[in-house]
Amino acid sequence: MPEWGTNETEKEPRRRKIQWCLVFLVMAWYLGALVRVHIYPDRRAVEQLAKQYQQSERKAMDRGSIYDGRGEPLALSITMYSVFLDPGVEGFEPGSLNNLTPYIGKEKVQALGEKLDRRFYWIKRYLERSEAEEIVKNCGKGFYIREERKRIYPKGNMLSHLLGFCDQDGWGLAGIELMWNGTLVVPEKMHTGYRGASVAAGMKRESRNRNDTQGLYLTIDSEIQYAVERFLGAQAAEIKAPWAAGICLETRTGAVKAMASYPVFDSNNRSTFKNLKALSNNAVNRVYEPGSTFKPIMVAMALEQGRVKQSDSFRCPAHLKVADGYISDSHPRDNGVMKVAQIIEKSSNVGMAQIGMKMPPFSTYEEMRSWGIGSRTGIKLNGEEMGLLPTADKWYGITPANVAIGQGFAVTPLQLVTAFNAIVNDGILVRPYLVRSAVDGEGHQVYHSEPMEVNRVVSPRNSRWLRGVLRQVVVSGTGKPADSELVHVAGKTGTAQVARNGKYVKGLYNSSMIGFWPANDPQYTMLIVFGDVTGSLYYGGPVAGSVFKKIVDEVERLKGVGVK
């Protein structure tokens, strides 16, 4: 009997069907995987492919504008045109580089021709449209035009130290441009294109929200700023002073109305950046011994401590032995008995030394710190120095007497004028500030600054008395050159020897004038200082006091409110 089952002939067709089914299932799975990869690609794979097949290029950042307190533009970004090369596009001829010679010079053309291993090269940036179009037309395929934003400063070198400057790509490097970079900068855009095609052709341009663009409004008054810069610079050039600084504050608020530094540079002209000394903002970067301009502050501290009274008198000989040294006046003579007011008016070193020796070093040190000496003001300018104030444990021997006449420690011009302003402002120390407000592209205010009172350092009574004394300094004392026919001026001059390597250099001085006006209702407090002055003209009154007067007269004429 035959076996139950299927013979070999019947098994063969079934085996083939199974094989074909398996092949079909494998192909179906494979095709499904391909579809899935295309529709839902793996993020890591996409990023890797993008790196291999795309190229990206940064565009110069746009920035918000900067305005003065009147709304006059101080820093703007304008549209310019730049030419770039993509040597990888079809039709580019290396020989066309020779056509660039009239525009960038033979050396740069040769250097460019030696590489050409990338897909993007800047040829020339920030051009007028007509010049950019001329280059592209004359050079042929591979050359393209890119629209960019360029930072300009309409007032030239005015306010250059304060505003600072940006790099080629619109990033702030100094001054307000640096310190307020996060507010001013518009988020940069990336332009992406496929490799093998021009970035210009494959560019993806992102839309810009108007709220991106922001602007800063400063406290600066351009009219006062111009007057300070003009007269400060002219005098510095005349007496060949290596450096100078001028600062004008609004007395009640601490708002900076002018801040000038000499020598100057032009933020629009990068060739002027080579003079590194000119790039320094002496108003906040320079430290120096204040000399006699510090005497009113020292007297204020002595009055507040109760070490002296307004009515006190001191015997003031030509020379005074103090501990291990001697103190003398600039014109040594026996002045007899002098009241505290006369000591300030005549700027007597001998009288001030006696006041200083009555003040305990530790309490005086702490008092100076409370006035802001030895600390940054926090004005938000890069490179602001702290000054130099030795700790009280180092105040031995003649040091207290030296400190009383403005020696043995160092301040920045901004520190000094801020401290002095407290005397003028009824005894209240206010923090100086530069930025009034910030707005977005729609004009909505996103930041607003208010005057900030730090602390009271002088009583109203002592403040009023000192203001009267400082008026007499200008009427009959060392500050006569600062007196104005338009408005009552008050203040104090300073003529300080310059120290080098721990010793005072003969014939080298810092000449200064610090004061305020109108004397009976102060609106402005100002410091003018010329550094490292040599020659026969170096006293603070003739050098700085005369400039102080010119600035006051100019400001009063401009405002039309000068009355004496």
**Residue at 44 is within a domain:** no
Predicted TM-score (pTM) of this structure: 0.82
The amino acid sitting at 226 is Y
120 domain residue, yes or no: no
Backbone angles phi, psi at 215, to 5 degrees: -135, 150
Residue 26 lies in a domain: no
Buried b (16+ CB within 10 A) or exposed e, 518-529: bbeebbbbbbbb
Q: Are strands 66-67 and 313-316 parallel, antiparallel or unpaired?
A: unpaired
Q: H helices then E strands: how many in the chain?
A: 20, 20
Residue 242: other Cβ atoms inside 10 A: 13
DSSP state of 236: H
Q: Give Cα separations from 256 to 252, 386, 430 (angstroms).
A: 11, 19, 12
Q: Which amino acid is at 341?
A: A
Do 297 and 355 meet the contact criterion of CB atoms below 8 Å apart? no
Query: In which domain, by residue range, is 317 found?
Result: 222-434+450-559
Q: What are the backbone angles phi and psi of residue 398, rounded to the nearest 5°? A: -85, -5
Q: For residue 416, which of 494, 479, 533 has the smallest C-alpha distance?
A: 494
Decide if 95 is inside a domain: no
How far does Cα 535 stand from its chain's mean position? 32
The secondary structure of residue 84, as a DSSP letter, is: E
* Inter-residue contact 207 to 57 (CB < 8 Å): no
Which residue blocks in 114-220 are alpha helix, DSSP H? 129-139, 160-163, 175-179, 181-184
CATH of the domain at 469: 3.40.710.10
Q: Pairing mode, if any, of strands 313-316 and 336-339?
A: antiparallel
User: What is the separation of C-alpha 5 from the centre of its chain, rounded to a whole number of angstroms?
Assistant: 100
The answer to the question of residue 296 being in a domain is: yes
Concatenated DSSP letters for 168-186? TTS-B-SHHHHHTHHHHBP
Give the HSE-up count for residue 229: Cα atoms under 13 Å, Cβ half-sphere.
24
Q: Buried b vs exposed e over 331-352: b needs ≥16 C-beta within 10 Å? A: eeeebeebebbbbbbbbbbbbb
Position 180 scores a pLDDT of: 94
Is residue 76 situated within a structural domain?
Answer: no
Give the C-alpha separation, 540 to 364, whole Å. Answer: 26
Q: Structural domain tally of the chain?
A: 1
Phi-psi region of 161 (alpha: psi -120 to 50; beta: other; left: phi over 0): alpha
Using alpha carbons, select from 183, 205, 181, 178 the residue that is nearest to residue 192: 205
Name the helix (H) or strand (E) containing 447: strand 445-448
Is 114 a member of any domain?
no
Cα 124 off chain centre by: 29
Both tokens of residue 376? 């940054």
Residues paired with 50 in a beta bridge:
none
Q: Does residue 41 lie in a domain region?
A: no
- Rounded Cα distance between 423 and 429, Å, is 8
162 vs 154: CA distance, rounded Å: 14
Mean pLDDT by 10 residues, the chain (564 residues): 47 66 68 58 49 46 90 94 92 90 91 88 92 92 91 95 91 94 74 42 40 81 98 98 98 98 92 85 97 98 97 93 87 86 95 96 96 96 95 94 96 98 98 94 86 96 98 96 97 95 93 98 98 95 98 94 46
Query: What tokens appear for 203 in the block?
Result: 């560019």
pLDDT of residue 59: 57
How do strand 215-218 and strand 190-194 relate by DSSP bridges? unpaired
**What is the C-alpha to C-alpha distance for residues 188 and 126, in angstroms, rounded to an integer?**
18
d(CA 185, CA 438): 12
